[in-house]
Amino acid sequence: MNINRGLKVIVGALLVASLAFVGNAHAKSFSMSGEWFQNRGALVDIPINGGPTLCIGGDIKTGCVGVFKPANGGIPGSAAISAMGVNPAAFTIPPGAFAQTLGSQRTPVGIIPTVVQLATAFTFQAPPNAAQATGAAPTFLTAQPAVFQKNAWSNDPGQTAGVTPRAAANFAWCPGVGGPACPSGLAATGSADVQGIVSYTAGANAFGGTMGMMLKGTGGTTSIVAGSTGGTGMIPFLAHLPIPANTGFVNPQAQGVSYAYANSIVLGSAQLYIGFMTSSAMGLITSTGPPLTTGGAAMSPVTIAGDTNNNFGFPWTTGTISVMNTETLNGGMQSGTLVAAGEDNRTGAGKGTIVMVAGGTTHRVLSGMDFESLEVAVLNFSDGTPTPSMGPAGLATVATLMALTAGYAIRGRFGRKN
C-alpha cells in the first residue's frame, strides 16, 4: 500500500469528521429567550412594568435607553427558532413568541410638568399571526413574516414595498418630509412646532428585519395638568385623557413594523377637576377635587378636547439609531434625543445573543407635543451545548491532525521511496 496515499486518506477522513463535528455542534435549531422593551419618550415605557428606574450608564440588554429602564423588565419572549445560513445566520420569529398580560398598571410621571400619571391595561403579543396581520390597519403585507437577515433594507418586503420604500441602508427621515435625507437636519411639517428627525446607521452586514407588537385591552388614561385657577394660590386643573380600548389585536405599534410605517391613535376628551392629591410614598393620584363647571345657572362641566397621536415607525437593526424631537413648550423651544445601538454576538451559525433596536417619532396634534420612541429586542439563542470549538472532541481531532501532519512531514523528509 502506498503510505502517502494512506495518510492522505486518514487525514481527509479526520478532516471530514472534524467538519461534521463542528457542523453538528453549530446546530441550526435553537431555543430563544428574550425581552422586548418599548420606550415612549425618555421616561415612559409601554407596558409600564413597574415604572421607570434610573440606569445611568447601564447595559442596553436590560432595557436601559437614555437614563431610564422599566423596573420589572420588558415583555418576555420564548420560542423554538430555526436559523438559516451562516455568518450571520438569518432567523424567523414565529407568531406570539412575545406575550404579556398583567392587567391594570399605574405609574407616576413626575419629571414631565404637565403629565402626572399613566395608567394602562393592555395585553401584548408579537409577532402577529395571519388573522391579526390581515386585520391590522393599515394592512400588513401578507408575505411579511418576522424574518431577520443581512441586507434587510433591500431584501425585506416590509422595507422595500409600501408607499415609501427604503432606498439605502443609512438614512435620515423627517415627519411629513420623508425621503433619504433631511436637508436641514430638522424639517417642519406645516408648523414650526412639529420638527424631528429619525436617523439610522446600519450595523455589520446591515442586519435587521420587521416585526410589529400588537396590543389589545381596556385601554387606560393619561392624567395631565390642563391649566390652573390662576393667581398666587394656583390650583391645577386635572384631566384623565382616555387611551382607546380595543377587544382584538387589530393595530400594531408603529415601531419595528416597516420603513416609514404610519398610524394614528385618537385620545378621547376628558372632564376637568379642580385640584388633586397624590400619595407621599408612590406619587400616584389618590383623589381629585370637584369637577370644574361653567358659571351661571347651567353649571355645565368643563372638558378639554380629545387629541390625536400621529405615529411614525421604522424597522429593526443591529446598527445605531438616533431619534430627536424639537417642540415649542410654554413659548420656549426644547428638544429630546434617544440614541441606542444594537449588537450581534452570535456565532456564525446563530448561537448566542443579538440585540436589535427600532426607532420612531410621534406628534400629538392639538397639544403640539412630540416625543421620540425607541424599541429594544434582546434575543438569546441556545442549543443546549457548550461552545464547540473548545470541546474535548474538537481538541482531540485537532491534536490528531497535528500529529499526523507532523509525522507525514518527517517521513517525507527522511523516508525512502517505495
Distance (Å, rounded) from C-alpha 209 to C-alpha 159? Answer: 8
Residue 21 confidence class, pLDDT cut points 50, 70, 90: very low
Q: Answer whether the bond into residue 252 is a cis peptide, omega within 30°.
A: no
The mean-pLDDT minimum among 238-242, 258-262, 346-350, 396-400 falls in 396-400
**Average pLDDT value for residue range 114-129:** 91
**Average pLDDT value for residue range 243-263:** 88
Domain borders along the chain are 3-20+390-414, 33-150+201-384
Between residues 2 and 144, the one the model is more confident about? 144
pLDDT of residue 377: 98
- The per-residue pLDDT for range 169-180, each reduced to its tens digit, is 998 887 754 444
pLDDT of residue 260: 87
Q: Is pLDDT above 60 for 237?
A: yes
- The per-residue pLDDT for range 28-67, each reduced to its tens digit, is 899 999 999 999 887 888 899 998 899 988 899 999 998 8
pLDDT of residue 283: 86
Residue 352 confidence class, pLDDT cut points 50, 70, 90: very high
The terminus-to-terminus CA distance of the chain in angstroms comes to 9
Q: Is pLDDT above 70 for 347?
A: yes
Between residues 209 and 134, the one the model is more confident about? 209
The closest of 126, 160, 156, 135 to 144, measured between CA atoms, is 156
Cα dihedral 342, 348, 353, 356, rounded to 10, equals: 30
pLDDT of residue 182: 63
What 8-state DSSP symbol labels residue 415? P
| Identity of the highest mean pLDDT range in 8-17, 191-200, 327-336, 360-369 | 360-369
Contacts 24+ apart (CB under 8 A), 274-281: 274/229, 274/235, 274/237, 275/235, 275/236, 275/238, 276/116, 276/236, 276/238, 278/108, 278/116
- The per-residue pLDDT for range 269-325, each reduced to its tens digit, is 999 999 999 997 778 999 999 999 987 777 899 999 888 888 889 999 999 999 987
Average predicted confidence (pLDDT) for the chain: 80
Residue 206 confidence class, pLDDT cut points 50, 70, 90: very high
Q: Is pLDDT above 80 for 210?
A: yes
Distance (Å, rounded) from C-alpha 297 to C-alpha 295? Answer: 7
Kindly report whether the global pTM for this prediction surpasses the value 0.85: no
Beta strands in 21-114 (DSSP E): 29-40, 44-45, 52-54, 68-70, 75-84, 90-93, 98-101, 105-108
Q: Identify whether the C-beta of residue 20 lies closer than 8 Å to the C-beta of residue 417.
A: no
| Identity of the highest mean pLDDT range in 107-116, 162-171, 346-355 | 346-355
pLDDT of residue 190: 45
Residue 394 confidence class, pLDDT cut points 50, 70, 90: very low
The closest of 92, 87, 95 to 29, measured between CA atoms, is 92
pLDDT of residue 127: 94
**Average pLDDT value for residue range 363-374:** 81
